Amino acid sequence: MGEHGIWREQMTGVLVAPTPRRAVNLDNVGNLSVALKNAVAIPDAYVQPEGLRPDVPYDGYSEETDQIPVVDLHNSNTGTVEERQRIISDIGCACKEWGFLQVLNHGVPDRLMQRLTDLGTRFFQMPAAEKEKAAFGQVGYEGRHVYMPERVQWVETLALVTGPDPNLEDILRVTCADYREEFIATVNEYIQEIQRVGLVLLELMAESLALEKSFFSQHFEKNSTSVTRFNYYPPCPLPSVALGLFPHADPNCITILNQDDIGGLQIRKDGRWISVRPLKDTLVVNVGDSLQAWTNGHFKSVEHRAVLNSVKPRLSVVFFYSPYAQAAMAPPLKLVDECHPLLYRPFTWAEYFPRMQKKRMEGKVMREASNSPLLQIELVKELKVHVNVAMQQKYVDDRKYND
């Protein structure tokens, strides 16, 4: 297996070619952060257009920040019927109104979460040449953003396919020799825990829509599709003109985020950017585009971004969770009626992912201005249907024996 000229079979079974290099080769972001400390300028590729620049600082917490839903999962399995129903209701409201929530008492051991972030930080603090040994096209390490056609994000990433065919041993076998085995074991242990949390959340989400508890989760129990990505945002000397992550909505079903105590995550609601305050021992959860389509628009995919600061690095560990590749994501009949006409046609993750990935690599999911309408992944737009009575009735008839 070569370092850069490989073809990699991703979790969908689709072969993805290595991404072409940029015409102008940028220095590693980690190197730039050190070299440009206290500088008054950064490379043009990192300077965002006026409309895309952050208007709320990383620690710009507001009244809206305190309105972000926080759900305690402690009694989700062991509490009374009333306590469980309250949790189901709170999760449903959060997914419908915000597409976003933070969860407490999720059961992932604090020491495991800390060990994972410590090892992730250790990886990104290695010399650039050592980190770049783990660069394999669209997976593994990325610190130069060779895949972005124009504007660039100020972030280093380590992307690991964690299901159904994990590649973390392939990615890490060429680097971090001193702690490689501990890193692999810790990631594997964390994935087991976070998948458990994901299944619990999917069951609660289904119940909040008056669906069978296993409506979503049954498609995740075996051969689910997941990527775990470490995002490391080194200090940026000009955080007011750069971005850690561009505004976007996630393509998968749900995303579960483990972050440190340095702020930077922001979500957009009612046209306003809201800073998310890191809360100790919580996990951040957001609805993705494909779950929005699967619920016929009852749940809302949330637009979010990462902003920077000039003093402290920030680390987050993101778990992108989707069903097995051939799972048919079709809105259930209970969510399709006269008040909620059919919005999206049925699709599979195997169909959705490679087309979304192609659009993303072409730069078609990036925003030109922060005040533009929510830009969903291109395929979700294609999934939308122009509903008429005959089409809706056919859908209902076809689904009667499947739901």
Radius of gyration of the chain (CA): 21
CB-based contact 380:300 (threshold 8 Å): no
The confidence band for 73, taking pLDDT boundaries of 50, 70 and 90, is very high
pLDDT of residue 150: 72
Which residues does residue 141 pair with via DSSP β-bridges, in sequence order?
A: 158
Mean pLDDT of 149-167: 91
Structure tokens at 261: 């105590």
Rounded distance between C-alpha atoms, residue 241 and residue 273, angstroms: 16
pLDDT of residue 49: 93
What strands, in cross-sheet order, belong to the sheet with 135-136? Answer: 70-72, 100-104, 283-287, 254-259, 314-322, 225-233, 156-163, 139-142, 135-136
pLDDT at 59 over 60: yes
**CA distances from residue 186 to 109, 113, 115, 257 in whole angstroms, order as listed:** 12, 9, 7, 16
pLDDT at 274 over 80: yes
User: pTM to 2 decimals?
Assistant: 0.87
pLDDT at 233 over 90: yes
DSSP string, 198-267: HHHHHHHHHHHTT--TTTTGGGTTTT-EEEEEEEEE---S-TTT--SEEEE--SSSEEEEEE-SS--EEE
pLDDT at 115 over 70: yes
Among the listed residues 224, 242, 226, the one whose alpha carbon sits nearest the alpha carbon of residue 234: 242
Q: Any idea what DSSP says for residue 174?
A: T
CB-based contact 251:352 (threshold 8 Å): yes
Q: What is the pLDDT of residues 247-266, one digit of tens each?
A: 999 989 999 999 999 999 99
pLDDT of residue 12: 36
Spot the catalytic one: 314, 345, 367, 399.
314
pLDDT of residue 75: 87
CB-based contact 387:341 (threshold 8 Å): yes
Q: What is the pLDDT of residues 346-358, one digit of tens each?
A: 889 888 887 776 6
268 is catalytic: no
Looking at the structure, give the CATH architecture of the domain made up of residues 8-328.
Sandwich (2.60)
The confidence band for 322, taking pLDDT boundaries of 50, 70 and 90, is very high
**CA distances from residue 228 to 72, 92, 116, 196, 240 in whole angstroms, order as listed:** 24, 25, 12, 15, 28
pLDDT of residue 346: 86
- Of the listed ranges 186-200, 332-346, 356-370, the one predicted with least confidence: 356-370
Which residues does residue 275 pair with via DSSP β-bridges, in sequence order?
A: 266
